[in-house]
Every structure is written in structure tokens, then in C-alpha cells.
Amino acid sequence: MAMFNAIWTLVLFIMFIGIVLWAYSSRRKKEFDEAANLVFADEEKDKEVAGETDK
């Protein structure tokens, strides 16, 4: 049973490291930046519908 726990811990640790590397990958930065700015895109669309402009 102790061997199973050790292997399971190792598998989970490797998965954690993989997720961290994926999340901080420079190839994913553009997609994450776009996702982070989606909230502001809705506000801009609402302003256009209401006829407001930045002056």
C-alpha cells in the first residue's frame, strides 16, 4: 500500500508541474491576456449600443 501511495503522489506532483508549466508558458500568454480583457470588451460594446463615445 505504501508503494501505491508513493506512486500516486509522484503522478500528482508531475501533473501539477505540467499544469504550472502550461499556465506560465509564453505561447499561452496571448490567449490568457485576451481572456482577461473579455470583461472590458463587453463594456465597450455596451457603450457603442448606447451611442456613447470617449471625448
25 part of a folded domain: yes
CA-CA-CA-CA torsion sign (6, 9, 15, 16): negative
2-55 residue pLDDT tens: 999 999 999 999 999 999 999 999 888 889 899 989 888 877 666 667 776 655
How many domains, the chain? 1
29 within domain boundaries? yes
Q: What is the pLDDT of residue 40?
A: 87
Q: The domain containing residue 7 runs over which residues?
A: 2-49
On whether residue 54 sits in a domain, the answer given is no
> What is the structure's pLDDT at 44?
66
pLDDT of residue 54: 57
The three-state DSSP-derived secondary structure of 10-51 is HHHHHHHHHHHHHHCCHHHHHHHHHHHCHHHHHHHHHHHHHC
pLDDT number for residue 53: 60
> Hey, what's the cell of 10?
509522484
Residue 55 lies in a domain: no
